[in-house]
Amino acid sequence: MGWKALVVTVLLTVAVAYYVYKPLPDAIEKPWKLMMLDALFRSMMHLGFLKEWLHLSHYISSVKSPMENLEGFVTSSESKGGVIPGVKFTDTTFAGVPVRVYEPPAGGEGHLRRGLMYLHGGGWAFGSGKAGAYDSISRMISDELNCVVVSVDYRLYPAVHFPEPFLDCFAAAKHFLSPEFLARYAIDPERVAVSGDSAGGNLAAAVAQEISADDGVPVKFSVQALIYPVLQALDFSTPSYVQNQNMAVLPRHTMVMFWLQYLNADPSLLPQFIANNHSASRQSALTPELRSRVDWTVLLPPKFKKNHTPLVVEKGCPEVLKKVPGLLDTRAAPLLAEAAVLAKCPRAYIMTCEYDVLRDDGLMYAQRLRDAGVSVSVEHLEDGFHGAFGLINWPMDFEVGKRAVRSYITWLQNNL
């Protein structure tokens, strides 16, 4: 190898190492594995943005294809060993919404089954309940809990914005809870759950609230199980947003971008949102009572407040709330619901991760539910990070992910 080739090789190696490396907390297991996973996500996103800038395709389309290929590889790798062969599934639609219904292995006739509706994450833009870890987890739940699992493939950005994904999930939930469906699959109407992670946790919480308040739906969800849910878009300077603003997988700017996309807001508002200019104190629509629903100084346990101070802007951008009304819509931001609405909600399981910008959303919601008289179990993973729940299949498996899934299934076993 000539000296020029050697220099180029060294420079490329340094450049790749610089791109991949990201400082991570000491508690994170397999840090280099997480760095590589994060670099893979970032490279797909950067390539997607480049193709959009060149007017070749929307960045979402560019990112979805490699993500689906990766999920397909993980799913096929896992299935080589025979993943719970007794569980069968059927792809169908509920009120026009695509779903996959998983049925447990034959046996136990004469006993009613549990029922669970699952809503996948992905920033309201990516993902499918039929692939990767979502498929594996649905099969596990169906098999271990004698449970009929319905995984919903609601419509995604950029095809739709809020409230369409919520409306899809709400329509699917009403079909799922209908006496006809429950009877067809021998599901106990007293043991039905709604669940989801991240953006799916947002939709699950919103659907649980809406179903609880809808007198036209006679069967209500028994429990709601939320995995690091995203629940509010008024304060992007909570302690967890600040602490984890540059964390792998879901940094703050990416979560804010997902919110802007979901609410069909101008992407140029991203810096304003990060600075909390959209929720300035002079916003007349943000009454003291409404602000109290996202007041982390009151709602968070002391150990999570640390030395953080609230970021409240005085003037900011008062026109934003008029341009983006979804910010105050509880179907988009369930944490903003009134106490009377929360009081009707089913008992809850909320999983949070220490190294996740969404940690405080989940913890604040847990406290608000408790204040409203709802029973809540919080599972906080001290070594957890966003997305860990879905990292259980080789080669992207992490022990914290396997523990998270096991804790989740155990809680459902004991509470559903």
Residues 59 and 51 sit within 8 Å (Cβ to Cβ): yes
Strand 97-103 to 88-94 pairing: antiparallel
Angle at 193 between CA 188 and CA 194, to 5 degrees: 145
> In 285-351, which ranges are continuous DSSP H helix?
288-292, 296-299, 302-305, 320-323, 339-342
Q: Which residue's entry shows tokens 């996103």?
A: 45
C-alpha 383/C-alpha 403 separation (Å) is 11
Q: What is the DSSP string of 350-370?
A: EEEEEE-TTHHHHHHHHHHHH
C-alpha 141/C-alpha 361 separation (Å) is 26
| Residues with catalytic roles | 198, 356, 386
C-alpha 72/C-alpha 63 separation (Å) is 14
C-alpha 348/C-alpha 365 separation (Å) is 10
C-alpha 327/C-alpha 235 separation (Å) is 11
Q: What is the dihedral of CA 15, 20, 21, 24, to 10 degrees?
A: 170
Q: Which residue's entry shows tokens 């106490």?
A: 339
